[in-house]
């Protein structure tokens, strides 16, 4: 398959997206429209000027811009619009199931009630299922560079939402904020029936991955690419089938790796890890899910069959039930066969 054939193939490939920050889907055009709607002043004259500023030295230089962008999100409708824009784009790129993050504290600390963000997002996700056929499980992510008591307060705010929020996560600036600090709040979250995921081993050391597993009870690791520095940890992740939600374009844009040709995706797959490919903050990193499959495929010489296996892994690593997973994996198989790609 040539590049354009591979792009078309990937666009139609049924897949799940398991590492996606809804706030990271805020495209400059929508950001400017919301700024106008809410009378928020921006330090850039236009959406093009803002996009031109998207050069990051590391995770924290990205987060500065990402949090600044979030200030335009004010009303429930804003959160609905943000989520709906993402869902329509995802549907056009073959996403059948999404487990998105949002960061409630990013909004509550600006005075936006927990309910405002949560209700807007949930309304769009419900409509995404009925109108676009995309199922979802929402993940509420705690900020690891804010105190654990703030995460705890957020957990309390979520009480009325019961089963509407499926999981808790841990994100934001990683280095210097080890998972162990959040052991108590994650323990309480688990007791309340939440599933647990955590960002670890993006910029932080492999010990943060071990910490996320042991102290937080994480069942899936977001990023996790630095596990390769610890062979015993790789063995554990393979043995326990702990999924990694890898985000190739993010890793290049945030300089976790120098270029896509240096990305460890192939090594992670060859080590036998349950690897998935995702888009992280696509409005900031130059591509959505299709580009995140395509860029490493081209740079590392992955085959169409490798990409089919990644799509299967995305459903296996999801929170869906056994029957739902089997049905979606059968769709992947049928799609691959129709396109003459071996299983």
Q: Is 21 in the site for ligand ADE (CB under 6 A)?
A: yes
Q: Is 174 in the site for Zn ion (CB under 5 A)?
A: no
Q: Which option in Zn ion, ligand ADE, none does residue 105 bind, with CB closer than 5 to 8 A by kind? A: none
Catalytic residue among 76, 174, 202, 203: 202
Q: Structure tokens of 55?
A: 């050069």
What are the helix and strand counts (H, E) for the chain?
A: 17, 10
- Residue whose beta carbon is closest to Zn ion: 280
Judged by CB under 6 A, the residue of 264, 280, 289, 296 near ligand ADE is: 280
> From the CB of 317, what's the least distance to ligand ADE, in Å?
18
Three-state SS sequence of 316-330 = HCCCCCHHHHHHHHH
For residue 106, give the 3-state DSSP assignment. helix
- Alpha-carbon distance of 324 to 308, in angstroms, equals 18
Q: Is 202 in the site for ligand ADE (CB under 6 A)?
A: yes
- The angle at the Cα of 77, spanning 197 to 153, to the nearest 5 degrees, equals 40
- The angle at the Cα of 98, spanning 144 to 35, to the nearest 5 degrees, equals 65
Closest to ligand ADE by CB, 102 vs 335, is: 102
Q: Is the CB of residue 202 less than 8 Å from the CB of residue 222? A: yes
Q: Is the CB of residue 94 less than 8 Å from the CB of residue 88? A: no
Residue with tokens 């990694």: 244
Site for ligand ADE in 209-268 (CB under 6 A): 250
Closest to ligand ADE by CB, 278 vs 325, is: 278
Q: Is 99 in the site for ligand ADE (CB under 6 A)?
A: no
> From the CB of 280, what's the least distance to ligand ADE, in Å?
5
- Alpha-carbon distance of 186 to 152, in angstroms, equals 9
> From the CB of 66, what's the least distance to ligand ADE, in Å?
6
Active-site residue flag, 202: yes
Closest to ligand ADE by CB, 168 vs 304, is: 168
State phi, psi for 16 to the nearest 5 degrees: -110, 150
Judged by CB under 6 A, the residue of 83, 116, 118, 172 near ligand ADE is: 172
Closest to ligand ADE by CB, 13 vs 254, is: 254
End-to-end alpha-carbon separation of the chain, Å? 16
Would you name the residues annotated as active-site residues? 202
Which residues would be at the binding site for Zn ion (CB under 5 A)? 280
Using CB under 6 A as the criterion, which residues of the chain lie in contact with ligand ADE when the complex forms? 21, 24, 59, 66, 171-172, 199, 202, 250, 280-281
């Amino acid at each position: 398959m040539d590049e354009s054939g591979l792009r078309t193939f990937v666009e139609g490939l049924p897949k799940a997206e398991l590492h996606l920050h809804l706030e990271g889907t805020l495209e400059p055009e929508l950001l400017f429209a919301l700024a106008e709607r809410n009378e928020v002043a921006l330090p850039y004259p236009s959406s093009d000027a803002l996009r031109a500023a998207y050069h990051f030295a590391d995770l924290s230089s990205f987060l500065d811009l990402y949090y600044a962008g979030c200030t335009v999100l004010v009303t429930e409708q804003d959160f609905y619009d943000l989520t709906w824009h993402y869902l329509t784009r995802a549907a056009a790129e073959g996403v059948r199931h999404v487990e998105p993050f949002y960061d409630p504290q990013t909004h509550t600390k600006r005075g936006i009630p927990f309910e405002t963000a949560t209700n807007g997002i949930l309304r769009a996700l419900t409509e995404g299922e009925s109108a676009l056929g995309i199922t979802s499980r929402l993940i509420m992510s705690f900020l690891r560079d804010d105190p654990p008591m703030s995460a705890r307060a957020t957990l309390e705010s979520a009480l009325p939402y019961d089963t509407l929020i499926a999981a808790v996560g841990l994100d934001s600036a990683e280095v210097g904020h080890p998972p162990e600090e959040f052991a108590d709040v994650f323990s309480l979250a688990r007791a309340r029936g939440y599933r647990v995921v955590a960002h670890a081993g993006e910029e932080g050391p492999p010990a943060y991955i071990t910490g996320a597993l042991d102290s937080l009870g994480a069942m899936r690791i977001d990023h996790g690419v630095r596990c390769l520095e610890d062979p015993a940890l790789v063995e554990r992740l393979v043995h326990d089938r702990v999924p990694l939600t890898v985000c190739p374009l993010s890793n290049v844009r945030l300089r976790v790796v120098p270029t896509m040709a240096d990305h460890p995706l192939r090594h992670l797959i060859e080590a036998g890890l349950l690897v998935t490919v995702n888009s992280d903050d696509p409005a900031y990193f130059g591509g959505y899910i299709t580009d995140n499959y395509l860029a490493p495929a081209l740079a590392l010489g992955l085959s169409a069959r490798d990409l089919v296996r990644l799509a299967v892994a995305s459903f296996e690593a999801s929170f869906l039930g056994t029957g739902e997973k089997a049905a979606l994996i059968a769709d992947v198989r049928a799609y691959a066969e129709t396109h003459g790609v071996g299983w």
